[in-house]
Amino acid sequence: MWYEVSASRSSGFVRS
């Protein structure tokens, strides 16, 4: 998801 990818920049995780 786009919001999860955006959050990954701070959290360090990536979900599609």
SS3 content of the chain, % helix, strand, coil (to 5): 60, 0, 40
What is the pLDDT, as a whole number, of residue 13?
Answer: 62
> How many helices (H) and strands (E) would you count in the chain?
1, 0
Predicted pLDDT of residue 5: 65
pLDDT digits (tens, 9 = 90+) for 1-16: 556 666 666 666 656 5
pLDDT value, residue 12: 60
What's the pLDDT at 9? 65
